[in-house]
Amino acid sequence: MSRPKYSILVVDDDKNICKMIEINLRKTKEYEVRTALNGESCLKAIREEIPDLVLLDIQMPGIDGIETLKRIRDEDPRIPVIMMSAHGTIEKAVQSMKLGAYDFITKPFPADRLLVTVKNALMTSSLKREVDELRTELKKKYHFDNIVGQSGKMQEVFRAMEKIIDSNVTVLIQGESGTGKELIARAIHYQSKRANKPFVAVNCSALPESLLESELFGHERGAFTGATGKRIGKFEVANGGTIFLDEIGLMTQVTQAKLLRVLQEREFERVGGNELVKVDVRVISATNVDLEEAVKNGSFREDLYYRISVFPIKLPPLRERKEDIPLLAAHFLDKFAKQENKNIEGIAPDAMELLMNYHWPGNVRELENAIERAVLLANSNEITPKDLPQNVRAIGERKVYEKESTLSSWIEKLEEEALRQALLECEGNISKTAKKLGIGRATIYRKAKKYGLPMVNK
Ligand SMILES: Nc1ncnc2c1ncn2[C@@H]1O[C@H](COP(=O)(O)OP(=O)(O)OP(=O)(O)O)[C@@H](O)[C@H]1O
Ligand SMILES: [Mg+2]
Comparing 421 with 36, which gets the higher pLDDT?
A: 36
When pLDDT is averaged across residues 249-267 and rounded to a whole number, the result is 89
DSSP 96-147: HHHTT--EEEESS--HHHHHHHHHHHHHHHHHHHHHHHHHHHHHHHTSGGGS
Q: What local confidence, expressed as pLDDT, does residue 123 receive?
A: 93
Last residue of some domain: 137, 164, 194?
A: 137
CA separation for the pair 252, 300 (Å, rounded): 8
Q: For residue range 130-148, list pLDDT tens digits in order.
A: 888 888 888 778 887 789 9
Counted domains in the chain: 4
Cβ neighbors of 417 (< 8 A, separation 6 or more) are none
CATH number for position 352: 1.10.8.60
Question: In Å, what is the CA distance from 201 to each residue of 84, 146, 219, 376?
Answer: 43, 20, 19, 31
When pLDDT is averaged across residues 319-324 and rounded to a whole number, the result is 94
Ligand 1 atom with the shortest distance to the CA of 181 = 21
Last residue of some domain: 340, 356, 388?
A: 388
Last residue of some domain: 137, 152, 168?
A: 137
CATH number for position 132: 3.40.50.2300
Nearest-CA residue for atom 7 of ligand 1? 180
Contact 184, 157 (CB under 8 A): yes
Q: Is the pLDDT of residue 400 over 70?
A: no
Please indicate whether residue 288, judged by its CB atom, sits closer than 6 Å to ligand 1: yes
Q: How many CB atoms lie within 10 A of CB 432?
A: 17
208 in the same domain as 155:
yes
Mean pLDDT of the chain: 90
Q: Is the pLDDT of residue 4 over 80?
A: no
Contact 305, 256 (CB under 8 A): no
Overall size of the chain counted in residues: 458
Q: What local confidence, expressed as pLDDT, does residue 1 receive?
A: 45
Confidence of residue 253 (pLDDT cuts 50, 70, 90): confident
Share of the chain above pLDDT 70, in %: 96
Confidence of residue 367 (pLDDT cuts 50, 70, 90): very high
> Which residue among 140, 153, 161, 183 has the greatest number of ligand 1 atoms within 8 angstroms of its CB, and so is best to mutate?
183
Residues near ion ligand 2 (CB < 5 Å) are 182
Cβ neighbors of 368 (< 8 A, separation 6 or more) are 328, 332
Q: Is the pLDDT of residue 175 over 70?
A: yes
Please indicate whether residue 368, judged by its CB atom, sits closer than 6 Å to ligand 1: yes
173 in the same domain as 104:
no
Q: What local confidence, expressed as pLDDT, does residue 132 receive?
A: 84
Q: Is residue 458 part of a domain?
A: no
Q: How many CB atoms lie within 10 A of CB 110?
A: 9
Instruction: State the residue range of the domain holding 115.
Output: 6-137
Expressed in angstroms, the distance from the first to the final Cα of the chain is 105
Q: Is residue 456 part of a domain?
A: no
206 in the same domain as 91:
no
Least confident of 69-83, 244-258, 370-384, 398-412: 398-412
Q: What local confidence, expressed as pLDDT, does residue 340 receive?
A: 93
Ligand 1 atom with the shortest distance to the CA of 182 = 18
174 in the same domain as 122:
no
CATH number for position 269: 3.40.50.300
Q: What local confidence, expressed as pLDDT, does residue 231 receive?
A: 87
Q: Is residue 107 part of a domain?
A: yes
263 in the same domain as 161:
yes
